[in-house]
Amino acid sequence: MPTVGVMDLKDGDFLLDVREDDEWQAGHAEGALHLPMSEFVARYGELTEAAPQDGRVHVICRSGGRSAQVTMYLVQQGIDAVNVDGGMQVWQAAGRPVITDEGKPGQVV
């Protein structure tokens, strides 16, 4: 399983958040693309339109389980994808910003 640590992510890296709507609304990483795992296959085209052509897709969820499943699916599709180890819980614990859609401070639920 290709994996990357939260602290290895740089500004501008493409981040795909596969948490559900209520989790996203509570707080997310700025600039992330939100495609809930429950809708992922149906909305797959949104990812292929938004992701950089030759870039890496960093997949994140709350703790790393759902994002691991999506990462494996993407790798099988020939996409350069990696799972973000520890997910948004580690993201927040590392002091990385978590915001709401309004740009206010958010939280990981």
Catalytic machinery residues: 61
- Tell me the three state secondary structure of residue 45: helix
